[in-house]
Amino acid sequence: MAKAASESVKAEMYLSDPLVALKYPSLGIQEIELKPGPVVLDGPVSSRVAVVDYDTSQDTLYPPAKFDARKRRFKARRGGHAFRQINTWATILHTLEMYEDPQALGRRIPWGFDGNRLLVLPHAGYWENAVYDRTTKTLQFFYFQSEEERIYTCLSHDIVSHETGHAILDGIRPLYNFPSSPDTAGFHEAMGDVTAILAALHHRAYRQVTIEEAGNDLRNDTIVATLAEQFGTALYGSANRYFLRNAINNTKMKHVADTWEEHDYSEVLTGAIYEILIGMYDKQWTQEQKLAAEKGHKPSPVKALLIAVRHLRRLALRALDYCPPADVTYLDYARALLKADEIAYPVDRFKYRKIVKRVCRRRGIARHDKELEPYPTPPRNKFVAYVFADVDESPVAAYHFLDRSRRVLEIPENQDLWVQGLYGNAKEGDRKYQMPRELILEYAWEHDVSLEGKRYGRLNGKSFPLLCGGTLVFDERANLLYWSPKEVTQERIRRLQEYVAYLVRQQLLGVGDDPSALNRPFRAELTPGRVRLTRNPLAMHNRNR
């Protein structure tokens, strides 16, 4: 085993999908620098991510990639198991660093399970898929044979960063893994795609090729917007479908009204975020041309894209801290996008918030701008007197604050309340200026909803928990900046009942001790009078994408 270390480490990884790299060598294998933390071991293994290369199909544990402690580098023969181990580990760490950077969330992100290390299986077995599974604390990347070659999903930058996005979002908002609505399921998939897009554009070479390919118009982009080209080509084998999903789409909420499949549903939000990027880039390209004309130099579209990408990264990732703790909707996220931008940029110099509002209206996420306004925050004098430092001290102190504030926060007196999350951050703005520290407090409770009728099958007569709660965002002076509540409403109850009925109708639900439950995307655990759903990631990803 190599010695532990705290310095940066170099490792080789694909900057793109292997199929894209054939056309654009600059997006192929490159050496990058990572900050994995104090522990670096053969594997690769670090404090947060550990590769365990077990192949379930072959019942084989492959030897770990070796760490060169003197050169502080992971390097292996390209095309072998060790290289694929390194590539997967490096891509995951790079994606995690993007989220934790002060230009994004500015804080350490926990995993959505007990433990510090995410386990990674680069060669999990023979299957056309890749999976994040909270129950086993794993990211599993499979391989399969196409007509021409063996496809390793662990080599695709898009696939690895997408699945890492699932794991990161599960750490940020664990209750989003709880089946509650098509919005929440679709949100998880959309954020995986958005993570893949932002992680790719984090590389300068990718931005350069994007501009060359798009010709200064991101509407023509076929590099970043099309995800997992090698996988899609092998899976579909068609010139009309050479990718898994495409962020350049015209999918609106009305188009998915009759289908609640999460991958289809996600296209609305993924398309909206990419459309926002297009609007931001157009603004920056106009500005770059104007400045170049004034100063007498050639305008740089790559620079314009960099500025747009950085702004979108702050906006899209920071908005996650402003979302409710459970049952997120696309409208919740749209409001959080606007608030995150307003807090970071009180003066909307380039009218980016107008772009966000326009896109959300066009996609049907909001009917009008009024819907995009934040929920009114209670004035400070409405709260029971408290010492704010105590709230920041521990979840116990935070609970007492919430318990004393039930009336103003509209928390029912008879509900068993719990603190879902309590954390601060240290974010940076443009030019790395330090933004005021925020304290984010999440709380939740359950409200029982009755399932009555034949459409619920074996769940008929049971009660199902509707997750409620809210997210409070304070500044360092204890001012409440934002409140994102998730209350009990008849619309939410109706929506939950319809979603459960849909899962039953589509036979996506395995109940109790039913042998088929293992092959269903959801499993219903029955107790006297109640039912609780859990996800089965392996079965869920086995469905048609």
**DSSP state, residue 126:** B
In this structure, the answer to whether residues 213 and 357 fall within a common structural domain is yes
- The answer as to whether 90 is a domain residue is yes
CB 490 within 8 A of CB 508: no
364 lies in the same domain as 387: no
Which DSSP symbol is given to 454? G
306 with 441, same domain: the answer is: no
Cis peptide before 18 (omega within 30 of 0): no
CA 163 vs CA 27, 131, 267, 460, 541: distances in Å: 20, 7, 16, 35, 11
At residue 524, the pLDDT reads: 85
| Helix runs in 215-347, H state only | 229-236, 262-295, 301-318, 330-344
**CATH number of the domain encompassing residue 92:** 3.10.170
Q: Is 57:64 a contact under the CB 8 Å cutoff? A: no
The pTM score is 0.94
Residue 543 falls inside a structural domain: yes
Which token pair is 113?
């399970």
Nearby residues of 143 by Cβ (< 8 Å), 6 or more positions away: 123, 125, 126, 127, 150, 151, 152, 153, 154
The residue among 327, 345, 372 that closes a domain is 372
**Residue 539 has what pLDDT?**
66
1: in domain:
no
520 shares its domain with 538:
yes
Instruction: Walk along the chain (545 residues) in steps of 10 and give the mean pLDDT of each run.
Output: 64 93 93 94 97 97 96 94 98 98 95 95 95 96 90 95 97 92 92 96 94 91 80 64 76 90 92 97 96 92 96 97 97 98 93 98 97 89 64 84 91 94 90 86 96 93 95 89 95 93 89 75 85 77 47
CATH number of the domain that residue 206 is part of = 1.10.390
- 407 with 271, same domain? no
Q: Is residue 420 part of a domain?
A: yes
Is-contact 313 98, C-beta < 8 A? yes
Query: Is 429 in the same domain as 405?
Result: yes
What pLDDT score was predicted for residue 45? 98
Domain end marker among 117, 140, 172: 172
Q: Are residues 459 and 327 located together in one domain of the fold?
A: no
Instruction: Indicate if 139 and 101 belong to the same structural domain.
Output: yes
Per the domain annotation, does 13 fall within a domain?
Answer: yes
Q: Are residues 69 and 144 in the same domain?
A: yes
Domain annotation covers residue 177: no
Number of domains observed in the structure of the chain:
4
Is residue 269 domain-resident? yes
- 2 assigned to some structural domain: no
- Both structure tokens of 420: 């879902």
* pLDDT of the residue at 4: 42
Domain end (from 327, 343, 372) = 372
Structure-token match 């009555």, residue found: 452
One domain for residues 408 and 385: yes
User: Looking at residue 110, what is its pLDDT?
Assistant: 95
Q: Are residues 166 and 63 in the same domain?
A: yes
Tell whether 425 and 326 lie within a shared domain: no
Range of the domain at 103: 9-172
The answer to whether 221 and 10 have CB atoms below 8 angstroms apart is no
